[in-house]
Amino acid sequence: MARIGVFICHCGENISATVDCPKVSEVAAKFPGVAFSTDYKYMCSDPGQSLVVNAIKEHKLTGIVVSACSPRMHEPTFRRACAEGGLNPYQCEMANIREHCSWVHEKGDKTDQKAIDIVRMMVEKVKRNNALLPIKVPVTKTALVIGGGVAGIQAALDIANAGHKVIMVERDPSIGGHMSQLSETFPTLDCSQCILTPRMVEVAQNPNIKLYTYAEIESVEGFVGNFNVKIRKKAKSVDETLCNGCGMCTTKCPNKKNPNEFELGMGNRPAIYVPFPQAVPNIPVIDKTQCTYYKNGKCKICEKVCQPKAIRFDQEDEIIEVAVGAIALCTGFDIKKTDFFPEYGYGKYKDIIDGLQFERLASASGPTSGEIRRPSDGQVPKKIVFVACAGSRDPAKGIEYCSKICCMYTAKHAILYKHKVHDGQAYIFYMDIRAAGKNYDEFTRRAIEEDQAQYIRGRVSRIYERDGKLIVVGADTLMNAQTVEIEADMVVLATAGVANKGAEELAQKLHVSYDQHKFFSEAHPKLKPVETNTAGIYLAGACQSPKDIPESVAAASGVAGKIACLFANSELTREPLIAMVDRQAPPMYSSCTGCFLCQPVCPYNAIEREEVKDRNGNLVRELAFINPGLCQGCGTCVAVCKSKSIDIEGYTNLQMYAEVDALLNS
Amino acid sequence: MEDIKKLARELLADNKVQLVLGFENGTANRVRPAFFTTPEAVDKLIYNEFCIQNIALYLKKDICQHAASLAITANPNVVRSILQLAAENQIKEEKIKIIGITHEGKCVGLLDFKAAEEFSKTQPKGLKDEDKALIEKIQAMSLEEKFDYWVEAFSPCIKCYACRASCPMCYCGKCNVESNNPQWIPVAPHKYGNMEWHMMRAMHLAGRCINCGECNRSCPVDIPLNILSYMLSDFVLEEFESEAGLSAVFTPALSSYTMVDKENFIK
Ligand SMILES: Cc1cc2nc3c(=O)[nH]c(=O)nc-3n(C[C@H](O)[C@H](O)[C@H](O)COP(=O)(O)OP(=O)(O)OC[C@H]3O[C@@H](n4cnc5c(N)ncnc54)[C@H](O)[C@@H]3O)c2cc1C
Ligand code: SF4
Ligand code: SF4
């Protein structure tokens, strides 16, 4: 016989101001199977918990219903109390009469009745609870870091320095990400390469880190602690073990007129190339789409000049399989290109560039050796216009969010411009100056006060060319929306930060969720900012939303901390609230028909095929089996299974039915 | 008919199959499904315009499950059923030989799954004119009228479960309707209990029904269950571009999700 205890909490006045708690307790005491019922001011307080523990012992309770706040708040607390009282912790249910009742209703009989109904439902449920044991799974103490931008670098170094193995997979020929393209960085104006390259070298030298560049994720299977990952290492056409990075090949390659991606098309590179001088690793790759040999079957000059004989034209993509326990997603972001803007000429004006291109112009290692010269004719622009929020905060363009970094880097650009072109004038069209952060507002003030950037509050409606000048037409909303026209020599669009190419496919491979803009979603915007919804997969940096360097690095260290915690034990304990497929004695074996229509619906790939064999080893049946390490207990399979062969522990069909029944038949 | 017999005989004689599933003459001018295990027994095998029962039903029965290999005389309904059963992992290609028969009763020889898929695409679903008229009538109704129509239509149901017993897709070992803990569906044949039973059946068949019409034929009180299933199939085809019984590798609409799924049914 069930002996259920009911504990009604007042939550100070949160509940009791609206719900008549003593009355609810009185009514609940008469429910069939309830052996004890009481109310108390703060059930989660120490004395409150003792009340629960003692009542379990004294009244020989078999299950408890704590009628209080959301299980999201205190379920763990009361499960522990339940265990302390000597019961299985899963013999405890929370009846949420706060969020679901007192907070959303006025005081009155109906509200009391609703609280009573909620309690009744949970009493009926808990009577049918099973004792459950936590699930243990082993942990592979190696982390996979996807993306070698500043976020990935930081995460990899931190995890490696905590003593764990790290595998880093970078899509480009070199690690470094966008930060390696930047000139100076706000708010301190220190040189980006100077602070980044030591970190890059550290990654290459750290014995705990295995680096795969020019590589991508092919597939991911498994679950927290036990992922199996296939990495596609694209053919570089160079034997990395032999190449000594002398650079003969890149100097001698006759096919030099290929648009340079690192310089965003503002320069050329050979068909065999290292993206930038400080690249890590300093090993060239052959761009097969451009190489003369791959196109015409003739050339092979690089092969001839390569002293260590490292060129391999017949090299093929390699698939590498690794086992990892945790994954850090650090794949960064991208920015909209100028061709996104019809009003600014769809990218047809050469002297309208984006922010990253300006970074390259300002960079000492860039195509102009750090002189600000416009792309069309190499002239030094004397009047330059910066357009902030180009695309951002513009629902009409489908990007309603703020890209966050542009206000700051535009101020930086105006400062760098003034430092380089003393007689030049910078104008900045902006919507708001968003400079929240340590020393950030001071930085934008500096652009205005010391470097005479002229800020104009308003959007630019149109840019067109007239007599070799770019005519920028905008409105000054602080001057009665007066039309402003500036004859500029060059325009820099602070274009919206967007999700990186391939983000969606990657998210689907990893089964992590992403938002409508294809940025990866965190598990909780406040309390789980670096976790994804999939256990064991974390995210840091600009792949989550546009972020600046300090934020990306902080998140990356956060991820490293999380992973170090995960790796601190050799076994993981998971909540046993997962799906189970029915099993019975032969000849039935299970009510599962083996249709496997449940398999494709599982968002976590948790459903496997189990073969039932007779004593002679003949296959008798194929049945669905749910991998307890993978299942997250979402319940989708339960809804799909026609024979109702699947039950979620803690939320079985029987329990749910009893709840509904208790509600309808009250 | 002779070519069907010849094929069946050869298959048994050459030990290619242990069993042939087809029809024979029954009593009083009726035909009935039959299992043939020797070449001699095949003398009794028949196929004519009365052989309309969807005998794919028997593929999930013990006699067929225990046979290592079998052949089946398969009209378009049976072929579609086999493909759908294969898609749902209920039958393997190695085990079954399909003796294909067109809707006009012409034997097209043995079909492997690939050929069966081609065959299925070319064969009509055989909806009767009165079925079409009824569908049109129901489609013209408002949502409320439709609901009332079906509540009324189901009310004579005596819960004999003949529809379930005759359906090749109703192969669950334990049907929900038999579960009493919890009791999902009330046992007694009353109006709303009937409605629950038929709704459950319809939903379980949505996107899986191959429209053989067997449920309607077997119903002793003539409920137009086939119409309900047919309309659902049509809806699934329109909304998800998915149709059961055309392919042996197929994920029914309710078990799959694609980026191009229309969501205009969410109103
Ligand atoms: C014009 C401009 C100026 C800026 N100036 C500043 C500044 O002054 N100060 C500041 O703090 N911030 C600045 N930022 C922001 C800064 O660039 C970002 O904060 C930083 O780059 C984010 O780092 P990340 O590692 O998250 O992403 P990224 O730098 O984008 O790196 C992501 C890495 O992942 C790799 N990758 C992507 N997809 C895959 C895949 N599928 N598989 C494997 N690898 C993959 C990429 O190749 C890349 O190496 C600026 C940004 C812009 C656009
Ligand atoms: S849907 Fe149900 S019956 Fe089909 S395989 Fe999955 S558990 Fe088994
Ligand atoms: S409950 Fe969700 S996660 Fe678990 S097996 Fe079913 S569908 Fe997959």
For the segment B160-179, the average pLDDT, to the nearest whole number, is: 93
- pLDDT value of position A618: 87
Q: Name the residue of A331, A408, A439, A493 to mutate for ligand 1: max ligand atoms within 8 A of Cβ.
A: A331
CA A338 to chain centre: 27
Per-chain mean pLDDT for chain A:
95
Q: Is the CB of A502 under 6 A from ligand 1?
A: yes
- pLDDT value of position B260: 73
A644 touches chain B (CB under 8 A): yes
**Using CA atoms, how far apart are residues A379 and A377, in angstroms rounded to an integer?**
6
Residue B168 and residue B230 in contact, taking contact as beta carbons nearer than 8 Å: no
**Using CA atoms, how far apart are residues A280 and A284, in angstroms rounded to an integer?**
10
pLDDT digit string, tens, across residues A204-238: 999 999 999 999 999 998 888 999 999 999 999 99
Taking Cα atoms as reference points, which of A621, A598, A500, A567 lies closest to residue A148? A500
Distance A509 CA to ligand 3 centre (A): 17
- pLDDT value of position B100: 95
For the segment A636-641, the average pLDDT, to the nearest whole number, is: 94
Residue given tokens 């695309």 in the structure block: A391
Residue given tokens 């294909």 in the structure block: B100
- Phi, psi angle pair for A644, to nearest 5°: 50, 50
In this predicted structure, the answer to whether residue A141 has a pLDDT above a threshold of 90 is yes
For residue A543, give the ligand 1 atom closest to its CA: 26
**DSSP 8-class letter at A514:** B
A658 interaction partners in chain B (CB closer than 8 Å): 182
Q: Which residue of A has its CA nearest to B201?
A: A642
Distance A542 CA to ligand 1 centre (A): 6
Facing B171 at nearest CB: one of A593, A640, A644 = A593
- pLDDT value of position B210: 94
Contacts A–B by Cβ distance under 8 A: 52
Rg (CA), chain A: 31
Residue A224 and residue A267 in contact, taking contact as beta carbons nearer than 8 Å: no
pLDDT band of A459, cuts 50, 70, 90: very high
Using a pLDDT cut of 90, give the percent of chain B over it.
76
In this predicted structure, the answer to whether residue B262 has a pLDDT above a threshold of 80 is no
- Phi, psi angle pair for A85, to nearest 5°: -75, -5
Could you write out the three-class secondary structure of chain B? CHHHHHHHHHHHHCCCCCEEEEEEECCCCCEEEEEECCCCHHHHCECCCCCCCCHHHHHHCHHHHHCCCEEEEECHHHHHHHHHHHHCCCCCHHHEEEEEECCCCCEEEEECHHHHHHHHHHCCCCCCHHHHHHHHHHHCCCHHHHHHHHHHHHCCCCCCCHHHHHCCCCCCCCCHHHCCCCCCCCCCCCHHHHHHHHHHHHHHHCCCCCCCCHHHHHCCCCCCHHHHHHHHHHHHHHHHCCCCCCCCCCCCHHHCCCCCCCCCCCC
- Take residue A189 and report the two structure tokens written for it: 């104006």
| Cβ–Cβ gap A658/B176 under 8 Å | no
SS3 A30: coil
- Take residue A387 and report the two structure tokens written for it: 């357009």
Q: What distance in Å separates residue A54's CA from the closest CA in chain B?
A: 34
pLDDT band of B263, cuts 50, 70, 90: low
Q: Domain segments of chain B: what residues?
A: 2-122, 129-255
Question: What's the complex ipTM?
Answer: 0.91
pLDDT digit string, tens, across residues A335-361: 999 999 999 998 999 999 999 999 999
Residue A494 and residue A409 in contact, taking contact as beta carbons nearer than 8 Å: yes
**Using CA atoms, how far apart are residues A372 and A363, in angstroms rounded to an integer?**
9
pLDDT band of A54, cuts 50, 70, 90: very high
- pLDDT value of position A308: 95
Q: Domain segments of chain A: what residues?
A: 4-127, 142-234+317-332+500-566, 248-305, 333-498, 579-649
pLDDT band of B264, cuts 50, 70, 90: low
> Is it true that A142-234+317-332+500-566 and A333-498 share their CATH fold?
yes
Distance A603 CA to ligand 3 centre (A): 7
For A630-647, b/e burial (b = at least 16 CB within 10 A) is bbbbbbbbbebbbbbbbb
pLDDT band of B265, cuts 50, 70, 90: low
Write down the architecture of domain A579-649 according to CATH. 2-Layer Sandwich (3.30)
pLDDT digit string, tens, across residues B111-161: 999 999 999 999 988 788 889 999 999 999 999 999 999 999 999 999 999
- pLDDT value of position A587: 84
pLDDT band of A496, cuts 50, 70, 90: very high
For the segment A360-376, the average pLDDT, to the nearest whole number, is: 95
- pLDDT value of position B266: 59
CATH superfamily of A333-498: FAD/NAD(P)-binding domain (3.50.50.60)
Per-chain mean pLDDT for chain B:
92
A640 interaction partners in chain B (CB closer than 8 Å): 254-255
pLDDT band of A373, cuts 50, 70, 90: very high
User: Which residues, in sequence order, are CB contacts of A599 under 8 Å at separation 6+?
Assistant: A607, A609, A624, B255
| Cβ–Cβ gap B254/A654 under 8 Å | no
Amino acid at position A358, single letter: F
A597 touches chain B (CB under 8 A): yes
In this predicted structure, the answer to whether residue B267 has a pLDDT above a threshold of 60 is no
- pLDDT value of position B4: 94
Torsion of CA A138, A141, A147, A148, to 10 degrees: 180
Closest-lying ligand to the alpha carbon of A533?
A: 3
Write down the architecture of domain A4-127 according to CATH. 3-Layer(aba) Sandwich (3.40)
Half-sphere exposure of A48 (CA within 13 A, CB side): 21
Q: Specify the residue with its C-alpha closest to ligand 2, atom 3.
A: A592
Q: Which residue of A has its CA nearest to B251?
A: A597
* Angle formed by the axes of helices A192-205 and A150-161, nearest 10°: 40
| Cβ–Cβ gap B182/A658 under 8 Å | yes
Give the predicted TM-score (pTM) of the model. 0.70
- pLDDT value of position A66: 98
- Phi, psi angle pair for A418, to nearest 5°: -65, -35
Using a pLDDT cut of 70, give the percent of chain B over it.
98
- pLDDT value of position A101: 97
**Range from A3-12, A172-181, A568-577 carrying the lowest mean pLDDT:** A568-577
| Cβ–Cβ gap B256/A600 under 8 Å | yes
**Using CA atoms, how far apart are residues A389 and A392, in angstroms rounded to an integer?**
5
pLDDT digit string, tens, across residues A611-621: 999 889 888 89
| Cβ–Cβ gap B174/A654 under 8 Å | no
Q: Which of B88, B174, B180 to mutate to test the interface with A (most CBs of A within 10 A)?
A: B174
Distance A341 CA to ligand 1 centre (A): 23
pLDDT digit string, tens, across residues A377-405: 999 999 999 999 999 999 999 999 999 99
Distance A543 CA to ligand 1 centre (A): 9
B179 touches chain A (CB under 8 A): yes
In this predicted structure, the answer to whether residue A439 has a pLDDT above a threshold of 90 is yes
**Using CA atoms, how far apart are residues A497 and A517, in angstroms rounded to an integer?**
10
**Range from A50-54, A636-640, B180-184 carrying the lowest mean pLDDT:** B180-184
A654 interaction partners in chain B (CB closer than 8 Å): 181-182
CATH superfamily of A142-234+317-332+500-566: FAD/NAD(P)-binding domain (3.50.50.60)
Residue A255 and residue A299 in contact, taking contact as beta carbons nearer than 8 Å: yes
**Using CA atoms, how far apart are residues A72 and A65, in angstroms rounded to an integer?**
15
CA A95 to chain centre: 33
Distances (CA, A) of A28 to A36, A37, A659: 9, 7, 15
pLDDT band of A61, cuts 50, 70, 90: very high
| Cβ–Cβ gap B176/A644 under 8 Å | yes
Q: Is the CB of A353 under 6 A from ligand 1?
A: no
pLDDT digit string, tens, across residues B237-246: 988 888 999 9
